[in-house]
Amino acid sequence: MFKHILLACDGTEASRHAAVLAADLAREHGARLTALFVVDPYPFIGLAQTNPLGFQAYLQAAHAQAARAHTEVEVLCSQGSHPVPLQLRLIEDARPADAIAQTARSEGADLIVMGSHGRRAVARLVVGSVTAEVLALTHVPVLVTR
């Protein structure tokens, strides 16, 4: 049924659950999996102006977190008798939902899997969750996990 699954991962517990589910679904359907980690390059307005070293430290930490999340997905995909074909993607974009929806389109994904609460759990109370934004932006089915 599914040929290409896009996993939106961010290293949170909900994202880990989504990764397990995405890897299992990909294995069951013989699908390939793309694990996407989106880094917001401008998390704090004026950060680079007040402390350019702080901005670089933030980006290094974000890329390290992406590498850890991707490694977790690699381990999940390599387990079992049938490894899952995996592509790792890291995108810098201030609008994660747009990046997820655009990647699903450009990669030809037929399912997006993501956690219900990610790094922006508190911010969703004010501006809406990334998950809700992805649901509004894409025509690809979205499987949301907790």
Dihedral of the CA atoms 112, 16, 60, 52 (nearest 10)? 70
Residue 87 CB neighbours (<10 A): 12
Domain boundaries, the chain: 4-145
Q: Locate 9 and state its tokens.
A: 């991962």
The first and second tokens of residue 17, run together, are 């659950």
With a pLDDT cut of 90, the percent of the chain lying above it is 65
Q: Any alpha helices (H) in 4-129, and if so which ranges?
A: 13-29, 47-50, 52-78, 96-107, 124-127
Residue 44, pLDDT score: 62
What CATH code is assigned to 4-145? 3.40.50.620
Q: What is the pTM of this model?
A: 0.87
In DSSP terms, which residues pair with 38 in a beta bridge?
A: 91
CA dist 95 to 53, 134, 139, Å? 23, 10, 18
Please say if the pLDDT value at position 123 is more than 60.
no
Is the model's pLDDT at 121 over the cut of 50? Answer: no
pLDDT in tens, 5-46: 999 999 889 899 999 999 999 999 999 999 999 998 876 655
Residue 49 token pair = 């102006």
Q: φ, ψ for residue 110 (rounded to 5)?
A: -110, 5
